Structure 1
């Protein structure tokens, strides 16, 4: 299980990703602040690339099935950087959903194991395929 070991570079990548999510969250809270969203995007993407590696990231984003999500996420990233945060975040959200569509079942199983959220999944029937 070489891929699951936690070295210093992966710790830095997770920190960058966490700060990216933090800045993105506050960018949305502060009515789509351009600066916070741009910094959050840069930190998030660089953190993901640092965590899983540049080669794995390029393989993921250039995979044939992920092309539509990659283009949408890239256009949204560009729109946020140039100063159109609302349209850019909408395009990024769509791209993120398309890119992560293969992981939803795994995410669902993980969410069901979290104490309060898992109860909500069972209560409202969200665990049904």
Structure 2
């Protein structure tokens, strides 16, 4: 079993609040204050979960520089009160940065909930076409 430190638990909470504020800011017609607060909480929580050095090395790997520039550029545009354009850039950068994590997360969710439609969809993302 994986042990989780208190700092990582706090990071999960901060990241969760960040995602909440981003979703809430989007629902309120791209409220720039809520989106900016959510972005800052998300990045802070991520650094609590995996550490500052690993966060920096994750974002600034050579093959991820384009995605990082889109993501952080979107965050900067949201902070400069251009929320719609900032969120578009940020969304593209987020999916480009975390595209390697989606099959792992989808496989976990498909196995955890055992929902037939989701399980088949997640197997498709993972590249396995066998139906169980």
Tell me the TM-score normalised to structure 2 length. Answer: 0.87
**Distance in 1 between residues matched to 2:56 and 2:103, nearest whole Å:** 23
Pick aligned residue for 1:88 from 86, 107, 123? 86
Preserved contact between residue 60 and residue 68 of structure 2 (Cα < 8 Å) = yes
Pick aligned residue for 1:119 from 112, 116, 121? 116
**Distance in 2 between residues matched to 1:46 and 1:5, nearest whole Å:** 21
Moved more, 39-48 or 4-13: 4-13
Q: CA RMSD in A?
A: 1.6
1:8 aligned partner: 6
Preserved contact between residue 36 and residue 78 of structure 2 (Cα < 8 Å) = yes
**Distance in 2 between residues matched to 1:14 and 1:111, nearest whole Å:** 18
Q: Can you list the C-alpha shifts for 1:71-121, whole angstroms capped at 9, x where unaligned?
A: 0001000000000101100100000010011122212211212426x3222
Shift of 1:126: 4.9
**Distance in 2 between residues matched to 1:103 and 1:126, nearest whole Å:** 12
Q: Unaligned 5+ residue runs, structure 1?
A: none
**Distance in 1 between residues matched to 2:42 and 2:81, nearest whole Å:** 18
Q: Unaligned 5+ residue runs, structure 2?
A: 128-132
1:29 aligned partner: 27
2:71 aligned partner: 73
Pick aligned residue for 1:63 from 61, 64, 83? 61
**Distance in 1 between residues matched to 2:5 and 2:106, nearest whole Å:** 27
